[in-house]
């Protein structure tokens, strides 16, 4: 029988098949080695390669497509999630684009290094005895290297500038292209005429640095795109469909139609939105609601694609499929929100908006002035104009922002905070409102046993043994509290009820209240509970709760004292939200909020002129994280949420939120100073260039010293922290 995974295997060559898998849970070198070695040890596998950056696995084997099932099972048996995907669907254009940029960068780097070498000889020749013919020869050589390299490496900028001009607007690539082309052309004219002023080095070096920046930017964006792709892949790829005569067969998810009955085994994700028609189970719906504790589900209960079936096989009648599912809706929300954020204009770009025209006007004025009011001829006038273009080359300005970012992100990293997007610091500095999610953000996001002290040692030993036989989240919480026991030989998990086993001649049960004969006992605690019974008589009850992060109250107090407006938005039940909000002193709170409503609330705050920092972890928070002005996630969050967040923080404390906001403010102050310095530099240098006093050597010295100045200023961020550590 063909199986679901075989549908994704593609034939390679005459007798081989290959499968592309997304693997979840690969964290370190050991993970790579375990997967590759285990697969490689199989006779039929000819290649198994993990790509750690993209968390993808490529496997190739001899034989039929059916072996795909065994491959997937092998990887899952090692404890990793494995989802086959069709590489055709996940566009790989990003990697082509990045390779083209890398090649352009390599060529520009090669040319820049060699031309600079020649330029230094020319500069040295200004003082020594270099004659005109040698200088001309070196200029010609520079031209020979620089011109083809500029034509090749400059294409990304030229193309973008052309597209912008055709569309009737302008972008930063227009002045860049203009400066590079003009400088190269004028230098060529100078060289032909045997003149002194050739700027090949300036134009090719500028191109090289700009290409480096562009490549780094592309890599960051590719990562964001991969996150959306991964989310879509949470959808199952195939489903086990029951036909009317009771037989079952695998069908690709795209071929499902509403009304079909699909069977979902424990540990699988629901492939569609639908309703349970047979069976009883528990569902991990954290994907949709953010609720960390499993929920019971029986006939008639609605389930959503992407949520996990935990303990028993159920049949589901297909309701909505593909793009109509709630999961697809979440993906759409994220995409919409990302487009919204793309409208945010970085400080550097805002400066560029008036900087570029100003430079052009100054250069044009220089040319016109020299032609009209002097007798030097148009060639020299053009040369002075180009000197203006080059000396204002946005080196200092281009460095002003990124250098501060590098220093600040290094600072944050030491405190366990990872800065994920370049302009996040700028946005953090403007934040005035903080919205927290509850589960996993203010709380630790996992069940914790709360009455461990009340359980007798004998009961504790039995509970440890029984819990060791179950994968249920509450059982695992018992093990975390007491330590792992040795599961009894006849331990058996009863779907929807609990675990049962015979120990020392008595039948013990660990599970639901009713199943353990405790239906008439008083309700304990506020969260979930488990009961332990011996031969049908309840002997102990366990209560669980989701623990608040140890410093949550202190951090919330600090933030409020600093003047931030703090709000709590949670998908969890209202009572729970009220209790946590009460404990932490957050008066603005809402429970039972859907992902769409979260985004709506953020939009509302935005409309009131607030700049919101969203702190959340669940997949249900992902759209809100993407929609907020700035966002943070704990490192334990779902992959997708982490990638939507601007910052990711590690550890059990909430304090990093306050730290990040503080660093953001300081960094922004330094950025402003740096831009100020760059402007002062230009105010001094440009008049000299306009007056025609700038030789290539002066330009080189001026540009380097201005760059040094802004870099040194940015490093102060490091020192301030070393001293005060505020």
Q: Could you give the residue numbers annotated as active site? A: 437
* Closer Cβ to another protein, 32 or 358, answer by number: 32
What 3-state class would DSSP assign to 31?
helix
* Closer Cβ to another protein, 33 or 537, answer by number: 33
Q: Select from 347, 394, 350, 401 the least CA-distant residue to 713.
A: 401
In the complex, what is the shortest distance from the CB of residue 369 to another protein, in angstroms, rounded to a whole number? 39
- Report the distance separating Cα 420 and Cα 425, nearest Å: 10
- Report the distance separating Cα 532 and Cα 539, nearest Å: 6
> Are residues 74 and 38 in contact, defined by beta-carbon separation less than 8 angstroms?
yes
Q: Which residues pair with 252 in a beta bridge?
A: 238
What 3-state class would DSSP assign to 71?
helix
* Closer Cβ to another protein, 33 or 368, answer by number: 33
Structure tokens at 400: 């002003």
* Closer Cβ to another protein, 198 or 391, answer by number: 198
* Main-chain phi, psi angles of 562, to 5 degrees: -80, 0
Taking the CA atoms of 464, 450, 446 and 293 in sequence, report the sign of the dihedral they define: positive
What 3-state class would DSSP assign to 262?
strand
In the structure, how many helices (H) and strands (E) does the chain have? 22, 27
Q: Would you call 164 exposed, middle or buried from its count of C-beta atoms within 10 A (0-12, 13-18, 19+)?
A: middle
DSSP state of 373: H
* Closer Cβ to another protein, 204 or 510, answer by number: 204
- Residues in contact with another protein by CB under 8 A are 28-30, 32-33, 37, 50-54, 95, 98-99, 102-103, 106-107, 109-110, 113-114, 117-118, 134, 141, 145
In the complex, what is the shortest distance from the CB of residue 153 to another protein, in angstroms, rounded to a whole number? 12
In the complex, what is the shortest distance from the CB of residue 45 to another protein, in angstroms, rounded to a whole number? 16
- Report the distance separating Cα 666 and Cα 411, nearest Å: 12
Kind and range of the H or E run holding 506 = strand 506-511
In the complex, what is the shortest distance from the CB of residue 172 to another protein, in angstroms, rounded to a whole number? 26
Q: Select from 622, 447, 608 the least CA-distant residue to 528.
A: 447
Are β-strands 588-590 and 565-569 bridged in parallel, bridged antiparallel, or unpaired?
A: parallel
In the complex, what is the shortest distance from the CB of residue 76 to another protein, in angstroms, rounded to a whole number? 21
What 3-state class would DSSP assign to 498?
strand
- Report the distance separating Cα 600 and Cα 615, nearest Å: 16
In the complex, what is the shortest distance from the CB of residue 105 to another protein, in angstroms, rounded to a whole number? 9
Q: Select from 625, 673, 273 the least CA-distant residue to 435.
A: 625
In the complex, what is the shortest distance from the CB of residue 110 to another protein, in angstroms, rounded to a whole number? 4
- Report the distance separating Cα 351 and Cα 677, nearest Å: 13
- Report the distance separating Cα 699 and Cα 689, nearest Å: 9
* Closer Cβ to another protein, 107 or 241, answer by number: 107
* Closer Cβ to another protein, 65 or 107, answer by number: 107
- Report the distance separating Cα 17 and Cα 47, nearest Å: 11
Q: Select from 246, 244, 145, 164 the least CA-distant residue to 203.
A: 145
Place of tokens 């008083």: 522
* Main-chain phi, psi angles of 258, to 5 degrees: -55, 140
* Closer Cβ to another protein, 50 or 65, answer by number: 50
Kind and range of the H or E run holding 552 = helix 552-561
* Closer Cβ to another protein, 54 or 533, answer by number: 54
Q: Select from 382, 352, 364 the least CA-distant residue to 175.
A: 352
* Closer Cβ to another protein, 134 or 502, answer by number: 134
Kind and range of the H or E run holding 302 = strand 302-303
* Closer Cβ to another protein, 133 or 608, answer by number: 133
In the complex, what is the shortest distance from the CB of residue 36 to another protein, in angstroms, rounded to a whole number? 9
Structure tokens at 265: 């085994």
- Region label for 6, one of left (φ > 0), alpha (ψ between -120 and 50) or beta (otherwise): alpha
Kind and range of the H or E run holding 544 = strand 537-548
In the complex, what is the shortest distance from the CB of residue 93 to another protein, in angstroms, rounded to a whole number? 14
Place of tokens 């998990």: 493
In the complex, what is the shortest distance from the CB of residue 55 to another protein, in angstroms, rounded to a whole number? 10
Structure tokens at 560: 């409020």
In the complex, what is the shortest distance from the CB of residue 23 to another protein, in angstroms, rounded to a whole number? 12
Taking the CA atoms of 27, 30, 34 and 35 in sequence, report the sign of the dihedral they define: positive
Angle at CA of residue 349, ends 345 and 351, nearest 5°: 115
* Closer Cβ to another protein, 50 or 312, answer by number: 50
State the CB neighbour count (10 A cutoff) for residue 89: 9
In the complex, what is the shortest distance from the CB of residue 450 to another protein, in angstroms, rounded to a whole number? 39
């Amino acid at each position: 029988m063909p199986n679901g995974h075989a549908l994704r295997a593609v034939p390679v060559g005459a007798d081989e098949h290959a499968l592309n898998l997304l693997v979840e849970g690969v964290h370190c070198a050991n993970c790579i080695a375990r997967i590759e070695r285990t697969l490689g040890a199989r006779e039929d596998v000819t290649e198994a390669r993990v790509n750690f950056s993209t968390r993808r696995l490529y496997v190739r084997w001899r034989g039929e497509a059916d072996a795909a099932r065994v491959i997937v099972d092998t990887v899952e048996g090692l404890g990793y999630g494995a989802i086959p995907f069709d590489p055709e669907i996940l566009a790989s254009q990003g990697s082509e684009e990045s390779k083209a940029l890398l090649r352009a960068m390599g060529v520009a780097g090669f040319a820049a290094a060699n031309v600079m070498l020649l330029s230094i000889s020319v500069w040295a020749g200004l003082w020594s005895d270099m004659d005109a013919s040698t200088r001309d020869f070196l200029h010609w050589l520079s031209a020979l290297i620089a011109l083809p390299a500029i034509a090749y490496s400059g294409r990304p900028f030229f193309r973008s500038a052309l597209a912008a001009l055709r569309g009737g607007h302008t972008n930063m690539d227009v002045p860049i292209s203009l400066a590079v082309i003009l400088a190269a052309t004028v230098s060529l004219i100078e060289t032909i005429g045997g003149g002194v002023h050739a700027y090949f080095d300036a134009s090719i070096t500028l191109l090289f640095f700009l290409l480096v920046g562009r490549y780094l930017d592309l890599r960051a964006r590719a990562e964001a795109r991969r996150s959306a792709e991964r989310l879509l892949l949470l959808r199952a790829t195939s489903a086990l469909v029951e036909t009317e005569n009771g037989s079952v067969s695998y069908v690709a998810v795209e071929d499902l139609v509403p009304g079909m009955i699909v069977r979902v085994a424990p540990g699988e994700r629901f492939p569609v939105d639908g309703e349970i028609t047979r069976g009883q189970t528990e569902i991990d719906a954290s994907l949709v609601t953010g609720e960390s504790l499993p929920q019971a589900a029986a006939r008639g209960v609605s389930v959503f694609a992407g949520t996990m079936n935990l303990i028993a096989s159920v049949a589901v009648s297909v309701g909505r499929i593909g793009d109509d599912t709630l999961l697809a809706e979440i993906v759409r929300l994220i995409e919409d929100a990302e487009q919204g954020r793309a409208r945010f204009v970085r400080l550097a770009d805002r400066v560029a908006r008036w900087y570029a025209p100003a430079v052009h006007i100054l250069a044009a004025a220089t040319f016109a002035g020299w032609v009209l009011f002097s007798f030097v001829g148009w060639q020299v006038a053009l040369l002075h104009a180009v000197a203006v273009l080059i000396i204002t080359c946005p080196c200092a300005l281009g460095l002003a922002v990124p250098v501060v970012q590098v220093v600040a992100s290094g600072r944050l990293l030491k405190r366990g905070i990872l800065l994920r997007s370049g302009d996040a610091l700028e946005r953090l500095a403007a934040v005035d409102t903080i919205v927290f999610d509850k589960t996993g953000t203010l709380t630790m996001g996992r069940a914790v046993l709360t009455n461990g002290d009340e359980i007798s040692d004998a009961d504790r030993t039995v509970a440890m043994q029984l819990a060791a036989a179950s994968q249920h989240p509450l059982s695992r919480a018992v093990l975390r509290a007491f330590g792992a026991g040795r599961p009894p030989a006849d331990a058996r998990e009863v779907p929807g009820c609990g675990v049962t086993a015979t120990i020392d001649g008595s039948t013990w049960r660990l599970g639901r209240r009713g199943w353990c004969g405790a239906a008439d006992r008083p309700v304990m605690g506020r969260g979930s509970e488990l009961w332990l019974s011996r031969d049908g008589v309840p002997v102990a009850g366990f209560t669980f709760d989701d623990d608040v992060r140890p410093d949550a109250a202190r951090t919330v107090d600090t933030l409020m004292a600093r003047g931030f407006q703090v709000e709590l938005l949670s998908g969890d039940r209202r009572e729970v939200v009220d209790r946590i909000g009460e404990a932490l002193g957050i008066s603005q709170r809402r429970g039972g909020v859907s992902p769409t409503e979260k985004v709506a609330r953020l939009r509302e705050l935005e409309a009131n002129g607030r700049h919101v920092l969203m702190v959340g972890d669940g997949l249900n928070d992902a759209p809100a994280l993407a929609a907020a002005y700035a966002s943070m996630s704990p490192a334990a969050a779902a992959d997708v949420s982490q990638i939507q967040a601007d910052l990711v923080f590690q550890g059990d404390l909430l304090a990093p939120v306050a730290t990040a906001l503080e660093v953001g403010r300081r960094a922004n102050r330094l950025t402003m100073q740096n831009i100020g310095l760059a402007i002062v530099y230009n105010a001094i240098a440009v008049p000299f260039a306009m007056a025609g006093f700038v030789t290539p050597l002066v330009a080189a010295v001026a540009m380097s010293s201005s760059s040094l100045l802004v870099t040194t200023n940015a490093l102060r961020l490091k020192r301030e922290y070393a001293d005060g550590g505020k």
